[in-house]
Amino acid sequence: MRPRLASALFLSIRVVLASPFFKQHNGPPHEEPEKPGSPEFYEKLIISAVLVVVGGIFAGLTLGLMGLDELHLRVLSASSDDPVEKRNAATVLRLLEKGRHWVLVVLLLGNVIVNESLPIFLDSALGGGLAAVVISTTAIVIFGSVLPALTFLFELTKWDASLFTQRHPRIIPQALSVRYGLSIGARCAPLVLGMMYFFAPIAWPIAKLLDLLLGKNETNTYKKAELKSFLQFHRTGEEPLRDDEITILNGVLELNTKDVQEIMTPLKDTVILSADTILDHKAVDKILLSGYSRFPVHEPGNSLAFIGTLLVKKLLTYDPSKGLPVSSFPLTILPEALPTINCFQALDYFQTGRAHLLLISKTPGKAGGALGVITLEDIIEEIISEEIVDETDRYEDNRSKRKARRATTATIMRGIVERERRRPYSTERSPLIGATDVSRSNSVEGRAYGTIREHPDELTGNGQIVLSESPRDS
């Protein structure tokens, strides 16, 4: 026990004798500080000030370059409207692509070297002691941490410059603005690149070790749900997105995850024709009044065995008095698809031009599995997230049976004039079938918005009358 106690006591004495406090009071006299006013004194003060500034630059670059999102840099370098910003983004991106951890290690290494060198010069200028420690620590904290953080992480709010200028600009000093982080990083990129090669023997192995332990920094992309939320934040700003633009973009993002069975028109709500249906005046009138341009055709006696599609334009030159069956007309193909395909697949097929009507069936190619139909218009409605109502539609949605509404607003009608050529005759049946007795439409006295003006004084030179016009012009 006694030899161990003696060894411990001996080691304790050596530690005490080696302490800075003991040496300061009992060791040899410290080097005298430079005399104030001497060239050596100002030389070391200037070197200390330069080290403080360089340390602040390194700390600011560490926060600024490491805080830049690589995905955002790629967007700016590819599509920024500002050529300077585009060039700066490309410069910083090339630097970070050499290794984000490599850049980080170099900047931290430079910052550590500066911070360790500063007390040495202050010690020789002030003679060491508590003053050198306080001054160096304060300078490092303020100029090496606080101000760089403000430089790259905060943006000054609106400043009332009425005392300086009459234009009241938004003053954002470079020292307190995040918007200059990209430009500062681009300007300092050559310096950082040179340091990367200079400190490569030390910094590169450390960076590779960080890559192995933490993994390389990969570009983070947004999920669809995140993109939809991201779009909501762009309702305001320098170039805000309109509500319609956001709605359409959201509709496109949802298109790949939505099955056609969710938007199809059920077969019970679909106007279908039998191949043996006689197209007389009554049948043709029914077809025209339905407002559809394509009709699925099935075999006689089997309403679930479809053979093709009848296009209304095939009836343009047809005389209903002939009483021909549907099978007498050329039918186009009626493709069938499973209800589980997504809307993008249906859109891709429609874009081929082979057909714009798709039969949804549980057993494509076999009779008996028909569930409903889907058209190109249904896909477009999902993209714009609104129902399209044309001039002949009676319902906005065949599934919900909502009555079609054709109301307009001042915003919609801005810059739009609806015109209708004057028709002195009316018909009981479509002009495609034949005309009967005619009757003059009643004259409308005065002028009213959204109504036909038939007063002789209001007729235009080309025989047209205004049906409705823009509220801005009315």
Residue 126: predicted pLDDT:
61
User: What is the spatial distance between Cα 22 and Cα 28, in angstroms, rounded to a whole number?
Assistant: 11
For residues 114-132, average pLDDT: 68
* Cβ 109 vs Cβ 202: under 8 Å: yes
Name the pairing type of β-strands 402-403 and 395-397.
antiparallel
Q: Which residues contact 442 (CB under 8 A, 6 or more apart)?
A: 454
User: What is the spatial distance between Cα 136 and Cα 275, in angstroms, rounded to a whole number?
Assistant: 96
Instruction: Tell me, rounded to whole angstroms, the distance of Cα 77 from its chain centroid.
Output: 16
Q: Identify the residue with better confidence: 224 or 28.
A: 224
Query: CATH topology for 258-403?
Result: CBS-domain (3.10.580)
Q: Which residue is it, tokens 């949605």? A: 397
For residues 84-103, average pLDDT: 91
Neighbours of 37 (CB within 10 A): 7
For residues 206-228, average pLDDT: 83
DSSP single-letter state for residue 29: P
**Per residue in 366-400, pLDDT tens?**
888 999 999 999 999 999 888 877 666 666 565 55
Neighbours of 456 (CB within 10 A): 6
**How many angstroms separate the first and last alpha carbons of the chain?**
110
Max mean pLDDT range (168-172, 284-288, 447-451): 284-288
Helix (H) / strand (E) containing 309 = strand 306-311
For residues 116-125, average pLDDT: 72
* Cβ 56 vs Cβ 144: under 8 Å: yes
pLDDT at residue 240 tops 80: yes
User: What is the spatial distance between Cα 56 and Cα 67, in angstroms, rounded to a whole number?
Assistant: 16
Burial of 258 (0-12, 13-18, 19+ CB in 10 A): middle
Name the pairing type of β-strands 336-337 and 357-361.
parallel
State the sign of the Cα–Cα–Cα–Cα dihedral 192, 194, 199, 203: positive
Structure tokens given for 430 = 């479509």
Structure tokens given for 58 = 């390194």
**Per residue in 178-200, pLDDT tens?**
456 788 888 889 999 999 999 99
Neighbours of 97 (CB within 10 A): 10
For residues 44-59, average pLDDT: 81
* Cβ 404 vs Cβ 393: under 8 Å: yes
- Average pLDDT taken over every residue of the chain: 73
Structure tokens given for 90 = 């490309």
pLDDT at residue 468 tops 50: no
pTM value is 0.58
Residue 261: predicted pLDDT:
92
Tell me which residue of 191, 183, 190, 219 sits closest to 83, measured CA to CA.
Answer: 183
Q: Identify the residue with better confidence: 429 or 307.
A: 307
Measured N-to-C along each axis, helices 100-126 and 130-141 cross at an angle, to the nearest 10 degrees, of 150
309: phi then psi, degrees, rounded to nearest 5: -130, 135
* Cβ 186 vs Cβ 211: under 8 Å: no
For residues 450-455, average pLDDT: 38
Rg (CA), the chain: 40
* Weakest-pLDDT range from 129-133, 144-148, 158-162, 266-270: 158-162
User: What is the spatial distance between Cα 260 and Cα 263, in angstroms, rounded to a whole number?
Assistant: 5
For residues 125-147, average pLDDT: 60
Residue 194: predicted pLDDT:
93
3-state SS, 89-112, equals HHHHHHHHHCCHHHHHHHHHHHHH
The identity of residue 163, as a single letter, is L
Residue 131: predicted pLDDT:
60
